[in-house]
Amino acid sequence: MMPQHRRPSFTRHSSQDMRAASAPGGVEHAVRVDLDGLITQMPGGPEKDKFSKEMDDFYRLFTRYLHEKKHSKPLDWEKVRGPKPEDVIAYKDLDQKGAKDVSPLLNKLAVLKLNGGLGTTMGCVGPKSAIEVRDGQTFLDLTVQQIEYLNHVSGADVPLILMNSFNTDGDTSKIVQKYINHNVSICTFNQSRYPRFKTDSNLPLAQTSENKPGLWYPPGHGDLYESFANSGLLDQLIEEGKEWVFVSNVDNLGATVDPAILQHMADTGAEFVMEVTDKTKSDIKGGTLIDYDGQVRLLEIAQVPKAHVDDFKRVKKFKIFNTNNLWISLKAIKRLVASQKFDLDLIVNHKTTDDGTAVIQLETAVGAAIKHFDGAHGINVPRSRFLPVKSTSDLFLVTSDLYLLENGELRLNPKRTFKTVPVVKLGDHFKKVADYLSRFKTPPQILELDHLTVTGDVSFSSDVTLEGTVIIVANHGAHIDIPRGSILNDKVVSGDLRLLDH
């Protein structure tokens, strides 16, 4: 059994060769000098060692950026092909298994949730994983319930690992204490903290190592591999006999441990499996698997030449997208990180600080590593394995009668006639969770709903039923109250309607 909420240690990796390789003069040398200055300011100890390693990793990413800026060629669209049949297999072709059937394999599995994001886009403070999403329970509550139930049914010991960012670590460390008596081991580690740098000079914005707002950033979930290794947790899991890690976004409520996929990993010896699912019109920006020069790769919309963006968005041409549910060999991660050839496609993110300074963040995506692993391929899974909550429109769906909650897992209500999920578009008045909650006395019943659009100042009373296509528009200055017990079936509601419940 792994210790509850182990605070990871970090190992110092020598950077002498890297620093010596930076010849005097030029922007590379200037940045190296600035980074060394930030390191020198810190008192000696494990935190300095950790920070120094992070600055070395950042410097390697930064020099790659400068080199690619000068020498890299843009993606050749003519070479972009759909994935070969053997690169994406159908989930329905897998041998279906139960948790008890794969108990020995579950003892070799760890579950890792990407927990670096804040809930700010939904108007919440703190980690997104702490947002209540169903029956007063948070993303993290449901995740712990899922794994606890899995361990109970299978008799295995599957640990939960959280990759936090400096934005979420403090709050998460407090939150996980409430799970101390649950049948699940919880460990955390932090992804890296990199300095933003100025667009004009390429020099870091930060003058000290202090974590001041706006000067530092977590460099995307592609940082998982090096941070996982640097924390010492990767080696610990391997020593304990773990062989695979199941990685997913903490806000994807459909990302549960699937025994059939785990068995497939063991049977095929694949080092990396990416769960993909069929695209709909709401997924047109999602990254997709392609064949490029005979190699399977993840193509993100940011990598697509502007002239071909519309082509990329066509559902008929690129039929699948990445759910970011990934099954990965732990030993393969260790091998690739040690090789220092683990170069993931760079995402150059242009930002502007509060004082108007143009800055750049260099980021990477965890799925882009697919091209580095042996036997890597995709599995086209049911849509039910992709249930993210990115907005209050998503929250509307998962809190409704459309889903049933059992042992931390949401599943589509069998009473729904169609197995597709309704399209829901809630306007700006519903954008923040607090505002959203204030506008619904109880979640509406939506088992027969196909499409819902709500804009303007609209409130819903209790016991409302929505069916078919419903469009509700309160014009500027107007207010609409949907009365208690209303049944709206293929209705358009507009104007100004105020009702008082008695």
Is 390 among the residues known to form the active site?
yes
Structure tokens at 49: 């060692």
Residue 328 in contact with residue 161, Cβ under 8 Å? no
Nearest-angstrom CA–CA distance, 88 and 388:
22
Catalytic residue among 390, 425, 431, 432: 390
- Taking the alpha carbons of 102, 105, 106, 110 in that order, is the dihedral positive or negative? negative
Kindly provide the residue ranges of all beta strands, DSSP E only, lying in 53-131, ordered along the sequence. Answer: 80-81, 88-90, 109-115
- Closest alpha carbon to 36 in 25, 51, 26, 21: 51
- SS3 category, 444: coil
Structure tokens at 223: 């940082």
The strands making up 377-380's β-sheet, listed across from edge to edge, are 88-90, 377-380, 272-278, 320-329, 244-249, 109-115, 160-164, 186-190
Which residues, including other chains, have CB under 8 Å from residue 91's CB and lie 6 or more apart?
Answer: 260, 261, 379, 380, 381, 382
Nearest-angstrom CA–CA distance, 195 and 415:
51
* Helices 46-71 and 26-40, axial angle in degrees (round to 10): 170
Residue type, 115: N
Nearest-angstrom CA–CA distance, 120 and 137:
19
Nearest-angstrom CA–CA distance, 441 and 463:
9
* Start-end of H helices in 43-97: 46-71
Nearest-angstrom CA–CA distance, 488 and 448:
11
Q: How big is the CA angle at 51 (ends 49 and 55), to the nearest 5 degrees?
A: 115
Residue 272 in contact with residue 261, Cβ under 8 Å? no
Tell me the catalytic residues. Answer: 390
